[in-house]
Structure 1
């Protein structure tokens, strides 16, 4: 949730005010912890009282952070700020056991970061436990010569299910153009398949409010054995990149790696290659993106025909759960350097007859280009199967 508020600045306040605000946040935390549970009787659903208490607790956390920054000078040191904020919020440094049953509002945590540049923003992530995961919010502050101004507040919308929380993984980066990218997962109790979100913001500047420039929402496979829970966010010289694991069209493959790389220039966020780690995964992604992206990643001279063939393929094999297909051999082609053919075996919803299409791709320095999509195999593509199942 992007709270579209103007840039906030405060007159210097005493740190007594910050301690009072911290105590108020603790009281809001206790109300959340003791709010009546949902009548549904499951940990994944919030009652109306829990939803209200969640909103109030987040507001109180932000007020406590605002007030702490208001009594800090331009040379505020992140570690000292974090210690002070943790003390005022009653943060317990010893985490609960891994098998503990977490409730709403447990295990509050705070993380404060600031880049090496003297003009760098101060970021504060505040989070707390919920059943089967956690929820987090992010605020950022800029020094205006007299005080710290809040230039970003980012948190989830109100949610009725815990999957609406911003948790599992929570990562943020400042991009070279001053934009802010944030990625998060969505907790759940019964499956490793979750949803993640990626947002790119322009922070508030003077009278201009903070703005959301881009949003991506997609399912992914959480990897709880990885430090990043199976999703990585990285700033790049020209923008931002997320790498994670998603479900392919071929259900038998179960999962595949995907790259969401974006060029960010001013307010424009544009997806660019690479989009996949290999040719088969490129074809899979090419089949599911929108027409504009599919055209961008196709041979310009054949793009019109390719998009028509793509539409016919996808619409001809869809069932209520999506396209039904399996990938066959991936073979090198002798008709050109770095040229490959990916077999796509189709199961029509109108018959039991298995059909096939053949995608021919060219590997580029930083991705692939779709050259052809036909119902006939290219006779020059007779190499060994490079991706046996």
Structure 2
């Protein structure tokens, strides 16, 4: 099953150079790095990310992947030098796929290349995603010694039959072991959950939420399952092999999780994310929602520099070949106009607990109706901030469309 297609866009020069428009107001913008590791042992049936199993990667070596990324890091430095970009990295995030399928030494080496090339601010957040069955205490210790500060574990569920439906291969009993091992070496631990899997009951979900809280992480993400076209799960649903996703049940699951997390001292800061005592948000993801700059390294990775968005070719072989030839791996790009940037700002900022200042809205006529419909907090609106209610979080896209 091929991953989802890249968007259309304008051609990118072979050297990857950015348009001159990015220089206006560039100084001082926060800068982060995302490193995409496209390898997985097994493709999960719900996933449409740009990932590949070993049988799909004939002729591509995982052993040389870090070398290819190092070449893109060097290319990015040259591209950013052309426009006077000098900001060091505030956050680094390794995602996938399963980044921890690579040796810890490769991840640490890539982080070192980023540090040597761009600089990393003191106290920066450095995260990797990890499947619970892909790390052990020794691996996590090597990450911490190499400069990582945070691990985001793909727990997804504590219930075996739910994990089987999602094609997740880890033993749920493994999760407490690796979370404890991360804490033991002073790595912040986050866990990711998915709710609304076909066949998952509310009691199943309660069990997973309770299990996640028992781990005492500093951060929890909970995402509603979205059945993407072309995935194995979509085909199973179409053939009637598994039930369709129940939107009403998903809403009930979200409300349960939000209440349970709050009772345990977690504060929501973005629709799908909760931080212990409000003090441990994912700074890298917040940077996305605040419209900062980042460079995405790896096949299919997306980047954004001051209103210009670009993305790399998808297949690891094509990615490595372009870099070996000394050309940019970027497949296409788009330069956002003022209307697009405004719409994105409304969409992204309204998802955050801090909300969106009403003074930033071009048209406030929809605000009163959104209050009446119970989608935004009336008291906060009176004080000048648009902030979603719990119901508004469930219907955030409706709110964004009404405001944009």
TM-score (norm 2): 0.24
- The answer to which structure has the higher helix fraction is 2
Of the two, which has the highest radius of gyration? Answer: 1
Q: Structure 1 or 2: larger strand share?
A: 1
TM superposition score normalised by structure 1: 0.25
